[in-house]
Amino acid sequence: MENTLQGQLKRWRQYLHQHPETGFEEVHTSDYVANVLTTLGLDVHRGIGGTGLVANLTVGDGRRAIGLRADMDALNISEQAPEREHVSRTAGKMHACGHDGHMSMILGAARLLAERRDFNGTVRFIFQPAEEHGRGAKAMMADGLFERFPIDAIFGAHNMPGMRAGTFSTRAGGIMASEDNFVIQIKGRGTHAARPHMGVDPIVIASQIVMALQTIVSRSLDPSLQAVISCTEFITDGLRNVIPSNVVIRGDTRSYSREVQALLETRMREVCEGICRTHGADCLFDYTHEFAPTVNSEEFVGVAVRAARNVAGNDAVDDNVQPMMISEDFGAFLQAVPGNFIFIGNGDGTGRGATPLHNATYDFNDDILLTGARYFAEIARLEMPAT
C-alpha cells in the first residue's frame, strides 16, 4: 500500500504546487482538498475562517479528539524553475514555503487512518488559510473552530531545508518566536542640502534611532532571554540635493514571551520619542502583534517524539532542538489548546530539498511525503496524556 500511497502523495503535492493561491484566496485549493477528503469518506466542513476546512474521522468509542493541521497558502513570488514539470501555472505566485507538501502529508495521514482504522477516537484534519501573514489561525478560531470541533491537542509540522531529509526535531517550550511589526515616522523640516541649519534633518535623527534601537536587547533585556530588533526599511521623501521632511523606518521584532514583547514595545517607543524630542522633530510610533510565539506543551512533545521515533528511528529525532527566531501562525492555536510543532528535514547540503524557504527556486522534497504522512498517522494511534 505504501508504494501506492507514495505515488498518490506526489501527485497531490505536484498538483497543488501547480495551482498556488495566497492567503484567504485558497478557493480552488480548498475545493481540491475537500474533494480528496470526501472521497476518503471523511465528514468535511467548509468555510471556516474564510477558506479553511475541517474533516473529521471517528473510529471506535474513544472520547479523545486531536487536531492535525496543515497550512494552505502560497506566496507572492514568481517561480524561477522553467525546467520543472510541475512549475506554478499562476503568474507571480508559488508554493515557496512547502505548504503544498504539508497539505499532502496530512491528506496522506487521512488516507492511512481511513483505510486502516487502527486508532480509537476522533481525528480532526484542519486545513488553515493565510498562514504566511499570521491571520488564518485567528480567523478560524474567531469562526468557532474549537467550539464546533473541540480537541484535546493539536499537532503541526514544517519542512526545514538544511536538515537531513526525513529527520525530525522539536523541543518543549518556545520553538519559534513571536513577530511584531513596527513603523516609525519621523517628521522634521526639509531644506536645501546646502543650508542644513534651516531645517530639522530627519535622516540624522532616524539614523540615531536605528543605532539606539540596537542597544535595547543588549542593555534593557535580561541576557538569559532572547529577542531581535531588525530595521528593514528606511524611506525618505528627499532628493539628491534636498534634505527631506519625512523618514519612515519599518521593521520587526522577535521574542518568546508576552513580557519581552511588552518591554520591547515600551523601550522602543521611549527611545524613538525621546530622540525626536531632543532634535525638535515629531514622532509617530506604531507597534503591532502579528504572530504569537510557538510554545510547545511538554506533555505533547513526548507524544510527537515517540511518533517520530516509531516512524524514523531514534537517531533521526532531535527532542531538544535550538529555538529559531522564525515565526509560525500555529503559535496562535497553541495559545488556545496544547500541542506540539515539529520540523521535518527537507534535505541538507547542496542536494535535493536544500534550497532555502521563500526562494524562487525552492521545491518541496517529495521523498519525505510518506515519512510525514506516517508520522501524523502515528500520532493518532498513540495514547495521549491526560489534560
Q: Are residues 324 and 359 in the same domain?
A: yes
Note whether 10 and 115 are same-domain residues.
Answer: yes
Do residue 150 and residue 249 come from a single domain?
no
Of the three residues 246, 275, 291, the one that is the final residue of a domain is: 291
Q: How many CB atoms lie within 10 A of CB 298?
A: 12
What nine digits make up the cell of 186?
A: 519621523
Q: What is the pLDDT of residue 351?
A: 77
Whether residues 63 and 138 share a domain: the answer is yes
pLDDT digits over 79-121, tens only? 999 999 999 999 999 999 999 999 999 999 999 999 999 999 9
CATH of the domain at 186: 3.30.70.360
Neighbours of 171 (CB within 10 A): 20
Q: Looking at the domain assignment, is residue 112 inside a domain?
A: yes
Name the domain count of the chain: 2
Q: What is the CATH number of the domain that holds 34?
A: 3.40.630.10
| Residue in this structure with the C-alpha cell 498517522, named with its chain if needed | 377
Active site residues: 73, 131
Domain limits at 99?
Answer: 2-175+293-381
User: Among the listed ranges 6-20, 347-361, 368-382, which one has the minimum average pLDDT value?
Assistant: 347-361
pLDDT score recorded for residue 349: 85
Q: What is the pLDDT of residue 342?
A: 98
116 and 237 assigned to the same domain: no
Cα gap 37→33, rounded to integer Å: 6
Last residue of a domain, one of 266, 291, 316: 291
Task: Check if the beta carbon of residue 239 is closer than 8 Å to that of residue 154.
Answer: no
Residue 2 has pLDDT above 80, yes or no: no
Residue 250 maps to a domain:
yes
Residues 240-262, mean pLDDT to the nearest whole number: 97
pLDDT for 1 equals 62
Does residue 109 share a domain with residue 63?
yes
Report yes or no on 12 lying in a domain. Answer: yes
**pLDDT tens digits, 36-48:** 999 999 999 999 9
Predicted local confidence at residue 214, as pLDDT: 96
pLDDT digits 0-9 by tens, 55-64: 999 999 999 9
Are residues 47 and 74 both part of a single domain?
yes
Query: In the predicted model, what is the mean pLDDT of residues 282-297?
Result: 97
- Within this chain, do residues 77 and 197 fall inside the same structural domain, yes or no? no
Count CB-CB contacts under 10 A for residue 383.
Answer: 10
The per-residue pLDDT for 350 is 79
Question: Would you call 310 helix, strand, or coil by DSSP?
Answer: helix
Asked if the structure places residue 386 within a domain, the reply is no
Identify whether residues 298 and 287 lie together within a single domain: no
158 with 14, same domain: the answer is: yes
User: pLDDT at position 50, please?
Assistant: 98
Instruction: For residue 248, tell me if it sits in a domain.
Output: yes
Does 115 share its domain with 193? no
> Which of 237, 265, 291 corresponds to the end of one domain?
291
Same domain for 195 and 168? no
